[in-house]
Amino acid sequence: MSRRADIVVVGAGVVGACAALALARLGAEVMVLERRAPGAKAPTAGVLGEDLRTLALSPASIALLAELDVDESDWAAAGCPYGAMEVWDAEGTGNLRFTAEEIGVAELGRLVPHHPLAFALWQTLEREGIACVTGAGVSGMEALGGRSVVRLDDGSEVEAALVVAADGGESRVRSLAGIEVSSEDTGQRAIATLAEIERPHENTAWQRFLPTGPLAFLPLPDVDGRHRVSVVWSLDTDRALAMEALADAEFAAALSRAMEGRFGAVLAVDRRVGFPLQQRHAQTYRAPGVVLVGDAAHVLHPMAGQGVNLGLQDVRVLRDELRRPLRGPGRALLGDPDLLYHYERIRRGENAIMLRTMDGLQRLFAAEDPGLRWLRNEGLRRVGDLGMVKRTLLRQAMGLDSTAGEPA
Ligand SMILES: Cc1cc2nc3c(=O)[nH]c(=O)nc-3n(C[C@H](O)[C@H](O)[C@H](O)COP(=O)(O)OP(=O)(O)OC[C@H]3O[C@@H](n4cnc5c(N)ncnc54)[C@H](O)[C@@H]3O)c2cc1C
């Protein structure tokens, strides 16, 4: 027997769960389908149980969570606010520091391990009475009389006017809808882990651009007076695989060296999670009965720390575009691709700019050519000197100057 809903959201990661909450707020009957069982350990959990995948939430993303009544007490304590961001070039003297005071805000954002946030969202879905089918993945999909029938691998089916694909970078829904993806292999892997450092992180997100790739130390809350950071280290694939294979003490020493001992010794590290760095962009965000959001639509280099923020901007714009049809007779036409034209135009355009910027920055900082090295150091210095440019860059990274933003 097939179940019915106005909208089916496939994937209850941060983006999918927020999409479900936002669309349910507009009065849609929403059902969430998630492959993972609710109590399952995160595949990116460290040996100490914390999720090694850490997300940098912008103020715009934090505001969306608040609008959706995601209780801060369920996730905020696991995260750490940061008031400054500093990037510097290992091959020169260029350095750039952004601070919250410069643009008159209390914080630039918060770093939060993925699992507590995802768990808080699942609790909100439950509290809001949104139906969730967990523990079975989507394996098939077909169109039937203007609606989509989604098949799960336990043999059950769900029928809806619109399927929101929020099932991550390897989206099954995207491929079932026949949407092509352009993909660029950066030839690099990112290593994520948690580290304990000797000196405090000063609630600052640090990023050092090494010729082999960027290394970030992102602040996490101290535990029993021990200073902790989330580490994301991007390296050429061979070098990354060799690093991942190092014993803890050797890896800790390599990290400390790569950060020039700026935080004293790296005292301990958790297990390393490595993942290939691919930038991907879906060629369209819509097909009959289907729309893409989050990593299903775009995957970008973690250097930007913007993965989840772009996905949540997708959710805001999608909500704004579906507000009218959901409140009128257009509800039956939710799956009409014409209805999603503006959503795609706005979000695909903004995401393409970010993907291109990341690609350019990665190439610029990997360049060994002395001219390019001079240019990037000079660039960092000039941006630092130009207050206006710096403030504009900062406001954009924080999602404060985006197209979307009407509250629910
Ligand atoms: C290993 C890893 C490390 C990362 N590290 C960082 C980082 O350090 N900083 C940062 O900003 N971003 C990072 N990212 C990216 C960031 O996590 C994402 O950009 C962000 O969380 C948006 O994710 P999403 O909700 O769109 O997709 P995801 O978080 O991938 O969620 C997709 C959900 O869909 C479910 N699903 C998948 N297939 C199916 C199916 N067939 N049927 C039903 N359900 C399905 C999955 O179980 C999952 O819950 C990382 C991503 C990965 C994979």
DSSP string for residues in 189-218:
EEEEEEEEESS--TTEEEEEEETTEEEEEE
379 sits in which H/E element:
helix 370-385
Closest residue CA from atom 51 of ligand 1: 53
Does residue 305 surpass a pLDDT of 90? no
Residues near 254 by Cβ (< 8 Å), separated by ≥ 6?
243, 246
Q: Which of 8, 9, 14 has the most ligand 1 atoms within 8 A of CB, as the residue to mutate? A: 14
> Cα–Cα distance between 257 and 240 in angstroms, integer?
16
Index of the ligand 1 atom closest to the CA of residue 15: 25
Least confident of 156-160, 173-177, 362-366: 362-366
pLDDT for position 405: 46
> Cα–Cα distance between 91 and 370 in angstroms, integer?
10
- Write the pLDDT tens digit of every residue in 101-158: 887 888 999 999 998 899 999 999 999 999 999 999 999 999 888 899 999 999 999 9
pLDDT grade for 186, boundaries at 50, 70 and 90: confident
Alpha-carbon dihedral angle through residues 35, 37, 41, 45, given to the nearest 10 degrees? 20
Closest residue CA from atom 19 of ligand 1: 307
DSSP code per residue over 100-161: TGGGT-S-SEEEEEHHHHHHHHHHHHHHTT-EEEES--EEEEEEETTEEEEEETTS-EEEEE
pLDDT for position 339: 87
Ligand 1 pocket residue status of 138, Cβ below 6 Å: yes
Does residue 403 surpass a pLDDT of 70? no
Q: Which of 58, 72, 71, 69 is nearest to 22 (CA)?
A: 69
Q: Which of 308, 310, 315, 318 has the most ligand 1 atoms within 8 A of CB, as the residue to mutate? A: 308
3-state secondary structure of 22: helix
Percent of the chain with pLDDT over 70: 86
Q: Are 226 and 220 in contact (CB under 8 A)?
A: no
Does residue 381 surpass a pLDDT of 80? no
pLDDT for position 332: 76
Ligand 1 pocket residue status of 377, Cβ below 6 Å: no
Index of the ligand 1 atom closest to the CA of residue 54: 8
295 alpha carbon – ligand 1 mean position (Å)? 7
Does residue 26 surpass a pLDDT of 80? yes
Region 226-230: what's the mean pLDDT?
Answer: 95
> Cα–Cα distance between 351 and 293 in angstroms, integer?
11
Closest residue CA from atom 9 of ligand 1: 55
pLDDT grade for 73, boundaries at 50, 70 and 90: confident
Give, as one character, the DSSP assignment of residue 93: S
pLDDT for position 45: 77
Q: Which CATH architecture has domain 2-80+111-183+279-367?
A: 3-Layer(bba) Sandwich (3.50)
> Cα–Cα distance between 111 and 220 in angstroms, integer?
7
Region 391-406: what's the mean pLDDT?
Answer: 55
Which phi and psi (to 5°) does residue 266 adopt? -90, 115
pLDDT for position 353: 87
Least confident of 9-23, 196-210, 282-296, 380-394: 380-394
Ligand 1 pocket residue status of 94, Cβ below 6 Å: no
Region 183-206: what's the mean pLDDT?
Answer: 92
pLDDT for position 407: 46
Ligand 1 pocket residue status of 33, Cβ below 6 Å: yes
Q: Are 108 and 398 in contact (CB under 8 A)?
A: yes
Q: Which pTM was predicted? A: 0.90
pLDDT for position 25: 95
> Cα–Cα distance between 104 and 100 in angstroms, integer?
6
Region 387-401: what's the mean pLDDT?
Answer: 58
- CB atoms < 10 A from the CB of 20, how many? 31
168 alpha carbon – ligand 1 mean position (Å)? 5
Higher pLDDT, 400 or 205: 205
Ligand 1 pocket residue status of 167, Cβ below 6 Å: yes
pLDDT grade for 98, boundaries at 50, 70 and 90: confident
pLDDT for position 365: 60
State the burial class of residue 87 (Cβ atoms within 10 Å of its Cβ: 0-12, 13-18, 19+).
Answer: buried
Ligand 1 pocket residue status of 214, Cβ below 6 Å: no
Higher pLDDT, 349 or 184: 349
pLDDT for position 178: 96
Partnered with residue 333 across adjacent β-strands are none
Does residue 385 surpass a pLDDT of 70? no
Mean pLDDT, the chain, as a whole number?
Answer: 87
Higher pLDDT, 404 or 16: 16
Does residue 23 surpass a pLDDT of 80? yes
Ligand 1 pocket residue status of 109, Cβ below 6 Å: no
Does residue 203 surpass a pLDDT of 60? yes
Closest residue CA from atom 37 of ligand 1: 167
Q: Which of 266, 4, 212, 182 is nearest to 91 (CA)?
A: 212
